[in-house]
Amino acid sequence: MKHLVLASFIVVGLVSCNNQKTSTTTDNEKFVKQYFEYFNKHEWQKMANMYAEISEFKDLTLGQGIVKQTRQQIIDKYSELNKMFPNLHDNVIQMYSSGSNHVIVEFISTGTPPDSSKFELPICTIMTIENGVITKDFTYFDNFEETQKKE
């Protein structure tokens, strides 16, 4: 009988822990969905406020390795990008939660520059969310064409 009671407590504890993980994951996914809503509305201030005061980025457009950016630098970057591509838009394909602090997002970024050509760029971003803000934004995309132009 003692074993049955002990087993019941263990099962209840495990279910409770799993429910907590699901809740955190769901909150992070909702948070990231809100991020992309701000992005697609070009609300750069609101989007930047979802980051820590200083966040870490891996993004070849910023340079090699990890680059630290302030919220104002994020606003400046996306405001400039938006000038080049007025209809800049990200279409989220899939989100994957990883642990309690990470969300991996697959999306396609599209836009039209002034010369009326169009771009479509598949991107994968790993976001680290801590204390309700994004602390790391590691973005990966195929930059082979960009590399070829520079050589």
Q: Where are the beta strands (DSSP E) in the chain?
A: 51-58, 66-70, 89-98, 102-111, 119-130, 133-141
For tokens 């790391």, the residue is 136
For 96-119, the pLDDT digits (tens) are 999 889 999 999 999 998 888 898
- Per domain, the residue ranges of the chain are 2-150
Q: How far apart are CA 44 and CA 71, in angstroms?
A: 9
- Residue 144: exposed, middle, or buried by beta-carbon count in 10 A (0-12, 13-18, 19+)? exposed
Does CATH number 3.40.50.20 belong to domain 2-150? Answer: no
Q: Are 32 and 127 spatial neighbours (Cβ–Cβ below 8 Å)?
A: yes
> According to the model, what pLDDT value does residue 142 have?
86
Spans of the chain, pLDDT less than 70: 1-25, 144-151
Sequence-ordered list of residues with C-beta below 8 angstroms from that of 14, at least 6 positions apart, any chain: none
Q: Which of 43, 44, 39 is nearest to 125 (CA)?
A: 39
> According to the model, what pLDDT value does residue 104 have?
97
